[in-house]
Amino acid sequence: MRFAETSDNRRGEPILTRLCKESEEQPQQRPQVRRRAGRYPYATSLTLQINAVADRQKGLPIAVTRDEAGVLDINFQRQFRLIQAKTDDLELCVCTKNIIADVELANAHAPSWNPYWDCQLLSRPKVPAWYVHDCETSLPQPRRYVELNNDTRGVIVGCNINGFVSLETYGHGGKPHHYAQRRDVAPKLTAYICLPLAKGEFITAAWIRELNNAISIREPVLVLSTCFQRTCTSGPYVPRECQQEYRYEALVEQSAHRITGFCYNDKGGLPSSQAKIGVTYEEKPMGPLSNPPFQAAYTLPNSRIPQWFVSSACLAGALHVRLFVDTKQPHTPTMGMLLTYGNRQESLGQCRFDCDVEDYDLTGPIYFSSGETEFGPYTNITCNSVKEQGWREIPPTAKLVWWFTATCSQLDVSII
């Protein structure tokens, strides 16, 4: 077994404290990692036993775990990559920055892009077409793979005025699967837009909407379409007269397919000019790929806020309401609501699980009120209660248009 050292520190000297090959007298031991003593348990040396892998067939999968600074361990935690190497010709390149910062094959013919992932993958996701914008970086960026399956009941897309941030799925419980493990570092700058999926409904097409210009600003927005011809645009509203300023890049090419997963570079909720987004899907086509869906025509709120997100739904037929209420704010704004009908759901505003979640079976009227803070307007919703001063009843057949940002909202009510 051979090791090649690289160094990225200012003096250009390898800081790796020990690289050694154990004797063949201990074949049952696992690869060992020496950690730096102190607050952060980063590896400072790597010890591997040759005979520990002698019984494997031709391939040697090595799971390397790291965070933003360096290698933590060689197992299945947090971010990891699989290094496919031959047992009779294993040469690793170890990059050191006082701690081990990265481990990769030293073979010049190895793939140049082998990112760290957030879940256990035995092979790379098969992504036919990537959307890429300014993704060159000196260190490997972590990637997320978010699976869609028969238990998926919806997706929640995090976005801001600069574009796509994150994506989560949820099942029958309604809460994102990995919410407990993930916390975006800038939640007050991120809006969370939900696309509920009915039974038998799945996503068949995806596009990236971006600015059509020659400069580096792109503002990539994820646009989704389902087999029930429902669409979701996870980005600021674009009036019809401004549509020519944008272009659409398909993530599913030529034909519609059932999408089975999303891959993207994980920035932890931080706004970024870098983006790499792709989808996996079933091979069997489901018909021709439709044109990119434009948003319906609306009249923007009369507000100093330049960019708004928008969603709409009809109240008629709704049986249940889920409210997302920010009780951490003194004015306790309602950030969004999820309407449940007989066999489907519609989302208005944001689905935020960092807020209090209130569920109501609709047995009485719904009222709303509006207010203003120094940051902009907000909306309050109450269900099955008595009308109070300053509150307005929403007619049971009304159409609701919910304008919102990450922190503000305005509800427009019209009678159909």
Same domain, 225 and 320: no
- The verdict on residue 184 lying in a domain is yes
Same domain, 108 and 170: no
8 A C-beta contact, residue 143 and residue 113: no
Same domain, 135 and 270: yes
* Tokens of residue 316, six digits: 């008629």
Q: State the pTM of this model.
A: 0.77
Burial tier of 229 (Cβ tally within 10 Å: 0-12, 13-18, 19+): exposed
Same domain, 106 and 179: no
**Nearest CA among 5, 64, 57 for reference residue 31:** 64
Burial tier of 242 (Cβ tally within 10 Å: 0-12, 13-18, 19+): exposed
- The verdict on residue 30 lying in a domain is yes
Same domain, 96 and 135: no
Rounded Cα–Cα distance for residues 161 and 217 (Å): 12
Same domain, 139 and 261: yes
Same domain, 136 and 256: yes
8 A C-beta contact, residue 293 and residue 243: no
Query: Phi, psi at residue 245, to the nearest 5°?
Result: -85, 0
Same domain, 182 and 271: yes
**Could you tell me the CATH number of the domain that includes residue 197?**
2.100.10.30
Strand order in the sheet with 409-415: 309-314, 398-404, 409-415
Rounded Cα–Cα distance for residues 371 and 380 (Å): 8
**Nearest CA among 96, 134, 93, 97 for reference residue 112:** 93
- The verdict on residue 185 lying in a domain is yes
Position 51 scores a pLDDT of 39
Same domain, 146 and 270: yes
Burial tier of 294 (Cβ tally within 10 Å: 0-12, 13-18, 19+): middle
- The verdict on residue 408 lying in a domain is yes
Number of folded domains in the chain?
A: 3
- The verdict on residue 248 lying in a domain is yes
Q: Could you list the residue range(s) of the whole structural domain that residue 331 is in? A: 309-415
- The verdict on residue 289 lying in a domain is no
Q: What is the DSSP letter of 364?
A: S
Position 333 scores a pLDDT of 98
Question: pLDDT of the chain along its 416 residues, tens only?
Answer: 444 444 443 333 333 333 333 333 334 344 444 544 455 567 666 655 443 333 334 444 566 667 767 777 665 445 666 666 666 666 777 777 677 777 777 765 545 557 777 776 667 788 988 898 875 555 556 788 999 999 999 999 999 888 899 999 999 887 786 654 455 555 678 999 999 999 999 999 999 999 998 777 889 999 999 999 999 999 999 999 999 999 999 999 889 999 999 999 876 655 556 788 999 999 999 999 988 888 999 999 999 999 999 999 999 999 999 999 999 999 999 999 999 999 999 999 999 999 999 999 999 999 999 999 999 999 999 999 888 899 999 999 999 999 999 999 999 999 87
Last residue of a domain, one of 114, 149, 179: 114
Last residue of a domain, one of 114, 148, 170: 114
Position 263 scores a pLDDT of 93
Q: Count the residues in the chain.
A: 416
